[in-house]
A and B are shown apart, each in its own frame.
Chain A
Amino acid sequence: MKVKDAEYSLLFKTIAYVMVTIFTLVCLFPVLLIISGSLTDNETIVRNGFGLIPEKFSLDGYMYVFKYPTAILRAYGVTIFTTVVGTALGMFFITMAGFVLQRKDFKYRNQFAFYIYFTTLFGGGLVPWYIMLTKYMKLMDTYTVLIYPGLMTPFLIILMRSFIKSAIPDELVESAKIDGANDFRIYRSIVLRLSMPGIATVGLFLALQYWNDWFLSSLFINDTRKYQLQFYLYNIINTVQFIRDMAISSGVSIGNPPTEAMRMAMSVVVTGPIVFLYPFVQRYFVKGLTIGAVKG
């Protein structure tokens, strides 16, 4: 019996290693293809197609991206601006809401929580929302429209509420109240300090959403100078015309741009920061997901 179990375990462990290796390679493979494409000579790509290893090494793609860097730097600027402002404001509002909604002495907390939750159950749909923002609020081509729609989601508020509930004992709040602190003071000096991991998780969700957003640009922005980074990349992938315009607007005609290599180089440049930050922020995500999933 004992021997048999050991054999089974060994068999299973082998399967586990093999399968996990395969899963990992599948996840990594497309990313490697893009990096390789960005480092390959454009002529070679046009002739032989994309490959896993650069057949003929070249930095032309990157050179072209950075030859006239105004447009891409501008798109970076827009994205960094919306990400920083949106994340900061969102975190501020979400933490306050989470704190209030978990307070047992806040009488209407369940009604307000339902008011927030109901928006996930039913809504007017995309079109009325779009028309309200463009026709009635006149937000076309503004930075506001890139920031305000992403400020909060019911999911993040509920997540924050569970975090604060588990991190801050009611007695602490009560004793602070007895000592004469008002609710905002309690929020500022107790809640913000004791629920840092939760706030970090919520902040990361927000930042990731702003950084990866292309949808709002595509709906509301016609002015190319206000394109977010991802939408800028989207245009480069989808239209050769866009690349030509870019060359013309930089005032130089450059013959045939190395489109294929350049598309891949642009993708690397756009995605790079996320991948660099990834190892540092990953554990906060895992922590947040775990609490969110276990506590419901």
Chain B
Amino acid sequence: MRARAMSRRRGFWHEVRKNWVMFLMLLPTLLFFLINSYVPMVGIYFAFTRYNFADGLFGSPFVGFENFRFLWQSGKLIQLTLNTIGYNLAFIVLGHTLAIVCAILLSEIGARFFKKLAQSIMFLPYFVSFVLINVIAYNLLNYDTGFINSLLVRWGMEKLDFYSISWIWVFLIIFFYLWKYLGYYAVIYLAVITGISDEYFEAAKIDGANIFQRIWYITVPMLRPTFIILLLFSLGSIMKGQFELFYQLVGNNGLLFNATDILDTYVYRSIKVTFDIGMATAAGLYQSLFGFVLIMTVNYIIRKVNEDYALF
């Protein structure tokens, strides 16, 4: 056993000496992930302390699972988890369905100029920052000068105070997500559709399949592998998710938290507003672990069903 370990170690250093140029080229990347991802894992310890800045990492009093117990008993954890997963599922289902529909529609358009123009415009929102989405929401929804409220006034109706009605934001957040990402995913799917050989469609035409049948029996099945890959990536990050979107739309507006608070926004606020370091680390650790277990499970199931699609 020891001998084998020795020879392996020698093998590694031997490799380093032989390929030192390549190791050197990889070094910045290795250091980056070491500092940025692995070293902070030590800080998981905060989750078990009542952290204060003066005493730092190892000086703060150790409290065991108290933070987790508090998060659990206050109902916070369940609410945050449900919100996070709920929104992500809506994003995935609606986002991909609409993107696929959109890509199929785009592929049926013959006029080259119109097609290119539409594709470019739909892809544009992907390039703008989330701060601009904040501006758009302000422009459309604010109480005094918002576009929608000024329309309502013009039609002789009551103004709506969007920033105090929490349930409306469920739809608004999903809408803005779709606005930003629809074009992005549609472009990916469209590229796959463009890659499908014309022969399939010609053959189906000769056999008398109409356009709906051609789409349903040829295009849709051809999109499946891409869909599954994208789906897996999205499922992997189901416990994270769109912090920038939520924070720019909702910010620190406590009136909306019931319907809009997700784990990421809760943790962020603990740094900027409430300074609840121990609690936030606990929530973050829970998020990480839950996500990890989720990915492993999904990957395991996929591997059982069809090994080719498994992530690892």
Contacts and interface: CB of A to CB of B under 8 A. Distances in A.
Interface stretch (A29-37, A61-69, A193-201, A243-251): A29-37
Q: Is the interface of B mostly helix, strand, loop or mixed?
A: helix
A96 B26 contact: yes
Interface in A62-116: 93-94, 96-97, 99-101, 103, 105-108, 112, 114-116
A195 to B, nearest CB: 15
B105 interface: yes
B212 A16 contact: no
Interface in B116-154: 117-118, 120-125, 127-132, 134-136, 138-140, 144-147, 149-151, 153
B312 interface: yes
Interface in B177-193: 179, 182-184, 187-188, 191-192
A140 B53 CA distance: 15
B243 to A, nearest CB: 8
A293 B188 contact: yes
Contacts of B221: none
A167 interface: no
B211 A294 contact: no
B301 interface: no
Nearest to A94: B29
Interface string B219-233: 000000010011000
A238 B29 contact: no
Interface in A24-53: 24, 26-28, 30-31, 33-34, 37, 45-46, 48-52
B30 A112 contact: yes
A152 to B, nearest CB: 6
A286 B116 CA distance: 12
Given A12-B211, A131-B277, A296-B229, A125 B139 contact: no
A51 B46 contact: no
B1 interface: no
A182 B216 CA distance: 53
A97 B25 contact: yes
Contacts of A103: 22
Interface in B43-73: 43-44, 46, 53, 56-57
Contacts of A121: 236, 291-292, 295
Q: Is the interface of A mostly helix, strand, loop or mixed?
A: helix
Contacts of B179: 26-27, 30
Interface residues of B, number: 103
Contacts of A218: 272
Interface stretch (B76-84, B86-94, B106-114): B106-114
Interface string B274-307: 0001001101110111011001000000000000
A266 B145 CA distance: 17
Interface residues of A, number: 103
B74 interface: no
Contacts of B125: 27
Contacts of B187: 285-286, 289
A126 interface: yes
A127 interface: yes
A237 B251 CA distance: 12
B242 interface: no
Interface string B234-277: 00100000011000100100000000000010011011100001
Contacts of B268: 126
B211 to A, nearest CB: 5
Contacts of A51: 147, 150
Given A19-B105, A274-B128, A124 B288 contact: yes
B132 to A, nearest CB: 6
Nearest to A281: B127
A263 B109 contact: no
Contact of B140 (A8, A30, A124, A127): A30
B208 interface: yes
Nearest to A209: B129
A267 B25 CA distance: 40
A5 B312 CA distance: 44
B19 interface: yes
Nearest to B120: A282
A278 interface: yes
Contacts of B292: 121-122
Contacts of B102: 19-20, 23
A163 interface: no
Contacts of B132: 34, 233, 267, 270-271
A230 interface: yes
B254 to A, nearest CB: 15
Given A114-B312, A116-B29, 13 more contacts: A9-B210, A16-B109, A20-B114, A45-B145, A97-B28, A107-B15, A125-B40, A126-B264, A127-B271, A128-B46, A129-B40, A152-B32, A293-B229
Give the 8 A-B residue pairs with the shortest CB-CB distance, closest first. A128-B43, A49-B150, A125-B284, A212-B129, A119-B37, A124-B40, A97-B29, A96-B25
19 contacts: A9-B211, A20-B118, A97-B26, A119-B36, A123-B40, A123-B288, A125-B40, A126-B268, A132-B43, A149-B36, A157-B29, A219-B271, A237-B134, A263-B135, A274-B127, A290-B188, A293-B191, A293-B192, A294-B191
